[in-house]
Amino acid sequence: MESIKAFPKKTKIYLSIWTAINLLILFLYIFAAGANILTALIFFIMWQGAVVFYYYYRYNLRKQKKYGDWFDAIMFAVLAATFIRSLFIEAYQIPTPSMEKSLLVGDFLFVSKVNYGARLPMTPLSVPFAHQTLPIGEIKAYSDALKLPYYRLPGFQKIKNGDVVVFNYPFELENPVDKKTNYIKRCIAIPGDELTIVNGNIFINSKRMEDPPEREYSYKVNTNGTSFNKKLLDKLDITDKDPVMSMYWMTDQTRDALAKESNVLSIDTLIQQKEFPGQTYPGWQGLNWSRDNFGPIYVPKKGVKIPMNEKNFWLYKLPIEQYEHAGKLEQTGDGFTLNGQVIQEYTFKMDYYFMMGDNRHNSEDSRFWGFVPEDHIVGKALFIWLSIKHDITRATKPDGTAFEKRKFKGIRWNRIFKGIH
């Protein structure tokens, strides 16, 4: 204690601020989130201990140790970055073309935690700057020995239809919520909405939703037998393609430009009709929805009751059992039971969202794996801070396995600091 009393006045102020923040988070976990008191105290002691140790090292041990200044800088960076990434802002990279052309493979984004309200850590025992695994050896980067309940701080806004949102992939049931893979999609429907897709057109509560300006579809391009010059494809910025199958993923503007080429006979939009029952969420043979003809489907809202019938049983069984942890939902000869008790209706405990990629024909999204619960929301995509260009070509191995070839092409300077809409 004597060493702490000897801290400079300014350091004591910093330490008091840290302590106040940690105490506030402790109270939120216990009184707002309903956390186990012992678990919340362990988290408080762990984080408070790390802060106190840093200042103790800085003013009592740094000058006595070789490379002391380096360790001091590293510890400060870890503490500060962990705090900022948890509650304010975090970097994210676009790994797949599911949001093209709004967002491109190689875009690096900043994602705001404060817009929708920062989600407090749920799996706090983790390696700093790592998400699921360490870069070397594929070793798990977290421990679920200490688990905390879901709680979100107040935000500046609520998620709106059309927002670009980063979230944890809900269907990845083997990992804790905040350690599931990060996905980025556009929020199409919010809690309480009824969504319908008709021939690719989206309707929210029976009103047509305007497509993003750079939305892509897949097209079958029929030519006179000659292939396209690579310079032409680069000029039109067609990066998501499978020339072997004559398939190209394009915006409407790019499609119209390509149609003017002399070797193009026709361009057909690959709209999927309702032909194969069970091919989309929830995988029930009683629904013959497709990626382009889907619904109507109700997006659950917290506190709203739904009648329990066969269709709703299949649509909401996954959220009820896996996301709300309400118990075992079963269909019996007499109706439906939850944990063995007959139920006529169910009341949702959380809000849910329906997410889709702007690359409508090359996106694994809510049409295939269902709703995103509110506790899986990470934050709002703000702007691009770096964009690296790759030449991506789809190809097929002799055994029929599809894969992508990527070649570095430089930096997209025109996308740096571009806002995301």
pLDDT at 191: 98
Higher pLDDT, 239 or 326: 326
- pLDDT > 60? residue 218: yes
Higher pLDDT, 139 or 40: 40
Lowest-pLDDT range of 88-92, 125-129, 286-290: 125-129
Interatomic CA distance for residues 189 and 85, integer angstroms: 27
Read off the tokens for 252. Answer: 């409407």
Percent of the chain scoring above 90 in pLDDT? 71
pLDDT at 59: 80
Residue 93's pLDDT band, with cuts at 50, 70 and 90, is very high
pLDDT at 394: 66
SS3 289: coil
pTM for the whole structure:
0.92
Interatomic CA distance for residues 203 and 224, integer angstroms: 38
Q: Which residues of 374-391 are buried (b: 16+ CB within 10 A; e: fewer)?
A: bbbbbbbbeebebbbbbe
